[in-house]
Amino acid sequence: MPQYHPNGELVLNNPKDDLFTERPIWHLTQHRRIHTEQPANRFAALLYALIKVDPNPVKEVLNQDWAQKAYQDIADLEHGSEMSRSFALFRDLLNQDDMRWLSQLRTQLDDLPAPEQALRPATIQALHTLAAAGADVGIFLHASSKTNRLSAITRATEALEQLQSFVKAEVNDADGRALLEIIEHWQPLLVKAGGALGRAQTLKPVVNPYVAGDPVTGDLFVGRDDIMRRLEELWADARHAPSVVLYGHRRMGKTSILQNLGARLPGRYRLVDFNMQRMFAESTAELLYELALACYQALSSHAECDTSALAAPEDSAFFQRSPYRAFDHYLRSLDAVCGEWHLLVLVDEFEVVETEIQAGVLEAKLLTFWRGMIQGYPWFSMVFAGLHTLQEMREDYWHPFFGSVTSIPVSFLDDADARQLLVQPEPDFDMDYEPEAVAEALALTHGQPYLLQLIGHSLVSRFNRQTFAQEAEPPRVFGLADVQAVIDNEAFFRDGDAYFTGVWGQADEPQQAVLRWLAANTEGMSLAAMEPHLADVDIPAALESLQHHDVLHEQNGRWCFTVELMRRWVAAVKLRQVY
């Protein structure tokens, strides 16, 4: 089946407006279609209008009568009430510009399910976050204290900034487009409202340069020079550029490394972005077709490439015949173009391949096939970035594949890079750190880049709040007390939950039992001290695996957490769940 959006297949009535791959499919299957219109079809048409190529603004779509009828008519279907009500709220949020209306948003969420009970938990959580910002807008509107009003509007503005990052990372395409447009609609209104007090014109907030969660590029990309130099050395000669695996924990910066490769490699390289979390292929044929299409787009989008010999891959060759033969044939067709260019396919989140193989979605021989491609075409290389270490991929289909690639671990930053990331996240950062504050941050994080970014981001946000609350700018120096204050705030661990739960989730039950015991001991424990409490656990095996994953390390005969903040999170969250 070709790779086009299923909502487009449900509602496609006018193929001239859609992707070229859909037109012949629509004509060939028109006589086989059921043409009875149902509420689900009309709602699918609405979703498709929000996500298709070159879509209209969400506000423009939702203000049309057919769109309103589409989400109203599904209210009686399963989960239909949630969908109908949330889309009605999207429309209202885009059409309103009265701050009083936003301040009362929380009362309009009563008929929506709680996030944990919803079909789209991230969307519902986003609406609740928006309502919390609205509550601060209510304080801004009604408080008599100028200080309280400024603090409230600052909190609301920061909440929208954080919500924007959350939506980009967690919310699906249709809902995400609507929510981002809503945020962009309300942000200038909040800024204008705060400016009306006059104080915002003299006390400017510090622009927060720290990026907690999203990949960083350009001047914000700090450290990893050792890895970047290694890659530059490996790929100095494009005729013999080996394929590479980058592996490590979540939030270690693997995606940032991929996104900064373009600035470090010679111009003859053409990067092909192929993030597995964005690939919703239902078969090996779909995946290989999408990869061939991505290679075509990477070449054809550059003016320097001679596109006269380029042709887009034909989907019929992948879906009606052998997808392996079709992909190999397509790479052969690029030989004339790629004589001087080198394709570098960036496969982010590559552990998804293993998950899809185990689920039967992808064929295990895909890896053997990719190995043949990178060995057979000197201008074709692949870079895989993901969670697992090679030793953990024990299935037979991984061994021959990894025999032909170079593996590079991505772990903690060294002290010099960690210090630079914190103290100088961008060249013109106008804040200073006391040495004790830097030392504490490095001790708490062990150079984990995401946690360093989160500490820095929290410090700048706290500084801005204090500036408006005190109606005077505090000294532009972060001290030890400031670092301790942001770490002691429960919001810090809530904001960093993606990292902590990611590390915790990679441990099995025996390893988690070991982590719980060690979390309660700030000085660590020896193996002998743990054995009486964990009689049913193979403690040496658990310790070996946790050490291999950089979660624990042994020091003077005692086992300790490598990242102190991870220990505190386990102690605060997982011990409380057990005891």
Measured CA to CA, the distance from residue 439 to residue 418 in angstroms comes to 10
Q: Which of 287, 328, 290 is nearest to 312 (CA)?
A: 290
What integer pLDDT is reported at residue 336 of this predicted model? 74
Question: Is residue 268 within 8 Å of 340, Cβ to Cβ?
Answer: yes
In the chain, where the domains are located? 6-201, 224-409, 415-495, 497-578
Binned at pLDDT 50, 70 and 90, residue 447 comes out as very high
Neighbouring-strand partners of residue 558:
555
The string of pLDDT tens digits covering residues 278-307 is 778 889 999 999 999 999 888 887 656 566
Question: Is residue 326 within 8 Å of 287, Cβ to Cβ?
Answer: no
The token pair at 338 is 């790629």
When comparing pLDDT for 139 and 18, which is higher? 139
The string of pLDDT tens digits covering residues 59-94 is 999 999 998 998 898 888 888 899 999 999 999 999
The label of the residue with tokens 């060939």 reads: 28
Weakest mean pLDDT among 241-255, 285-299, 318-332: 241-255
Q: What is the mean pLDDT of residues 461-472?
A: 81
The token pair at 410 is 């991505």
Binned at pLDDT 50, 70 and 90, residue 14 comes out as very low
Binned at pLDDT 50, 70 and 90, residue 492 comes out as very high
Three-state secondary-structure class, residue 265: coil
**224-409 and 415-495 in the same fold:** no
Residue 138 has pLDDT above 80, yes or no: yes
Architecture field, domain 497-578: Orthogonal Bundle (1.10)
Measured CA to CA, the distance from residue 155 to residue 431 in angstroms comes to 21
Q: Is the dihedral of CA 352, 356, 362, 363 positive or negative?
A: positive
Q: Which of 415, 387, 163 is nearest to 276 (CA)?
A: 387
C-alpha to C-alpha distances, 414 to 189, 417, 430, nearest whole angstrom: 43, 6, 24
Three-state secondary-structure class, residue 174: helix
At the top level of CATH, which class does the domain 224-409 belong to?
Answer: alpha beta
Q: Is the dihedral of CA 370, 375, 380, 386 positive or negative?
A: positive
The string of pLDDT tens digits covering residues 261-274 is 877 777 778 888 88
The token pair at 24 is 């012949």
Measured CA to CA, the distance from residue 504 to residue 267 in angstroms comes to 41
Question: Is residue 38 within 8 Å of 76, Cβ to Cβ?
Answer: no
When comparing pLDDT for 452 and 398, which is higher? 452
Q: Give residue 353's identity as a one-letter amino acid code.
A: V
Residue 199 has pLDDT above 60, yes or no: no
Q: What is the mean pLDDT of the chain?
A: 83
Residue 446 has pLDDT above 90, yes or no: yes
Question: Please, what's the b/e burial string for 28-58 (b: 16 or more CB within 10 A of its CB; e: otherwise)?
Answer: eeeeeeeeeeebebbbbbbbbbbbbeeeeeb
Q: Which of 563, 383, 390, 429 is nearest to 487 (CA)?
A: 563
- The angle, 0 to 180 degrees and rounded to 10, between the axes of the packed helices 365-376 and 323-333 is 20
The string of pLDDT tens digits covering residues 374-427 is 888 888 988 988 876 655 665 555 667 776 788 888 889 999 999 999 998 888
Q: Are strands 552-555 and 558-561 parallel, antiparallel or unpaired?
A: antiparallel
Tell me 380's DSSP state: E
Measured CA to CA, the distance from residue 418 to residue 453 in angstroms comes to 10
The string of pLDDT tens digits covering residues 527-570 is 999 999 888 899 999 999 899 888 999 999 999 999 999 999 99
Residue 7 has pLDDT above 50, yes or no: no
What integer pLDDT is reported at residue 198 of this predicted model? 47
What integer pLDDT is reported at residue 390 of this predicted model? 52
Binned at pLDDT 50, 70 and 90, residue 12 comes out as very low
What integer pLDDT is reported at residue 363 of this predicted model? 92
Highest-scoring range by mean pLDDT, 137-146, 242-251, 348-357, 444-453: 444-453
Neighbouring-strand partners of residue 478:
433
Q: What is the CATH number of domain 415-495?
A: 1.10.8
Measured CA to CA, the distance from residue 40 to residue 52 in angstroms comes to 18
Weakest mean pLDDT among 97-101, 259-263, 306-310: 306-310
Q: What is the mean pLDDT of residues 123-138?
A: 93
Residue 58 has pLDDT above 50, yes or no: yes
Measured CA to CA, the distance from residue 546 to residue 562 in angstroms comes to 10
What pTM did the predictor assign?
0.61
Binned at pLDDT 50, 70 and 90, residue 144 comes out as low
The label of the residue with tokens 């990893």 reads: 224
DSSP characters for 81-104? HHHHHHHHHHHHHHH---HHHHHT
Widest distance between CA atoms in the chain: 76
Binned at pLDDT 50, 70 and 90, residue 37 comes out as low
Residue 13 has pLDDT above 50, yes or no: no
What integer pLDDT is reported at residue 362 of this predicted model? 92
The label of the residue with tokens 């919803």 reads: 118
Neighbouring-strand partners of residue 345:
272, 382
Q: What is the mean pLDDT of residues 174-181?
A: 91
- Torsion over CA of 273, 279, 283 and 285, rounded to 10 degrees? -30
The token pair at 496 is 């960093």
What integer pLDDT is reported at residue 367 of this predicted model? 87
Q: What is the mean pLDDT of residues 204-214?
A: 79
Q: Which of 106, 113, 166, 163 is nearest to 139 (CA)?
A: 106
